[in-house]
Amino acid sequence: MENNEMKRYSFATLCVHGSGGADPATGAISVPIYQSSTFKFKSARHGAQLFAGEKEGYVYTRLGNPTQSALEKEMAFLEGGEAALAFASGMAAISAVVFAYCRAGDNLVSTNTLYGGTHNLFMETLPRFNIEAREVDTTNLENIINAIDDKTRLLYIETPANPTLTITDLRACAKIARDYKIPLVVDNTFPTPYFQRPLELGADVVLHSATKYIGGHGDTVAGVVVGKKDFIDELRANFLRDLGAVISPLNAWLLVRGLKTLAIRMERHQQNAMKVAKFLQFHPKIKRVWYPGLTTHPQHELAKKQMAGFGGMISFEIKGGRRAGEQLMNAVKLITLAVSLGDVDSLIEHPASMTHSTYSEEELAKCGITESLVRLSVGIEDARDLIQDLSQALRKVKV
């Protein structure tokens, strides 16, 4: 199915049927798991041609695998990109993109509210390679412009941001990136291509922690990058090959399977999140709720403009601070106290001490990640059961 055919069908239909076509080798409708490290050559000449890139084919799974290729084809198709590359984790994908663009002495400009692992890469690891990450509040576009100089090699945006759900204007960022002739890289993990399509908004590269909503079931760890074919070819040749962060065939297959139900899961995540957010918004023990679907969210109108939906992530501040948050998290019965997100199960955690513990106290304060902030990844259970669980847990909280 060609990209121009996407307009004929809804995204939900495209998720199920993908780019079309059965497995070319077997005719299997379900993508086979090619659980092999090595592939046989037809001849010595054929092997040499494969290594030289003169012919397409498979040599060794670190360099590519048919199951991995099937995942990459579908991710590129659904994001509307030319090509994609899968990695063993989201952090591997982010690292590869940064090192593809930056050399010693360069810098990047980034959202200051990021997944904790990304922040640690930017603030702790990149300086070892003499690469500077300039994290700024990208909801104010002037901050981005002021941070760019002649050594800036990319603009990195995570929106909605983890865990505050702040929204950055992607169209405006794309214009800034074009003006300064640098690529715009967007982490699209929270909304997925179902709710947000960064390439259509002007981004150059989209990446995912596919561990989250793409997989959707908490049973695999992976990352995916989508962009122009020449850039993806560079990533494969110079970073996946050399650094070896290769996805396993089984994990690639789990993600292909996850894409089949992406649309229906994202709809249920969003429906539940809206109901839970509204419940929390008016609860006397809740200080503030962060959810882009609420009219009280400071970037609600921008979210409506650049997203097709608001996703399944909620953050909220509870009265009584960290102690009250701990009481709440210890009291839930149905919701699981665990990190990660995007699972069919609802997950609750404390960013300041868990996923964002890589931030200093000063950095947490600057990003609005308070001691009382709780992050909730709303699953696909019955929303009434989730609200009932939160209600009974909140009754036990002393504020």
Amino acid at 196: Q
Catalytic residue among 34, 115, 194, 359: 115
DSSP 187-222: E-TTTHHHH--GGGGT-SEEEEETTTTTT-SS----
Phi, psi of 154 (to 5 degrees): -165, 155
Whether 39 and 59 have beta carbons less than 8 Å apart is answered as yes
Catalytic-residue membership of 265: no
Catalytic residue among 62, 228, 257, 278: 62
Whether 270 and 312 have beta carbons less than 8 Å apart is answered as yes
* Structure tokens belonging to residue 31: 């993508």
Catalytic residue among 34, 101, 169, 187: 187
Whether 346 and 378 have beta carbons less than 8 Å apart is answered as yes
Q: At what angle do helices 249-260 and 66-79 cross, to 10 degrees?
A: 30
Whether 62 and 246 have beta carbons less than 8 Å apart is answered as yes
Catalytic-residue membership of 103: no
Catalytic residue among 58, 101, 204, 212: 212
Query: Nearest CA to 306 among 194, 179, 170, 174?
Result: 170
Whether 370 and 259 have beta carbons less than 8 Å apart is answered as no
Within 8 A by CB and 6+ apart from 13, the residues are none
Catalytic-residue membership of 319: no
* Structure tokens belonging to residue 287: 């200080």
Catalytic-residue membership of 275: no
Measure the CA–CA gap between 43 and 46, rounded to whole angstroms: 5
Q: How far is CA 204 from the centre of its chain?
A: 15
Between the alpha carbon of residue 125 and those of residues 36, 117, 133, 256, the distances in Å are 33, 10, 10, 32
Query: Nearest CA to 352 among 332, 374, 330, 331?
Result: 374
Note the helical H segments in 65-205: 66-79, 90-101, 116-120, 141-147, 170-179, 192-195
Neighbours of 234 (CB within 10 A): 15
The residues annotated with a catalytic role in the active site are 62, 115, 187, 212
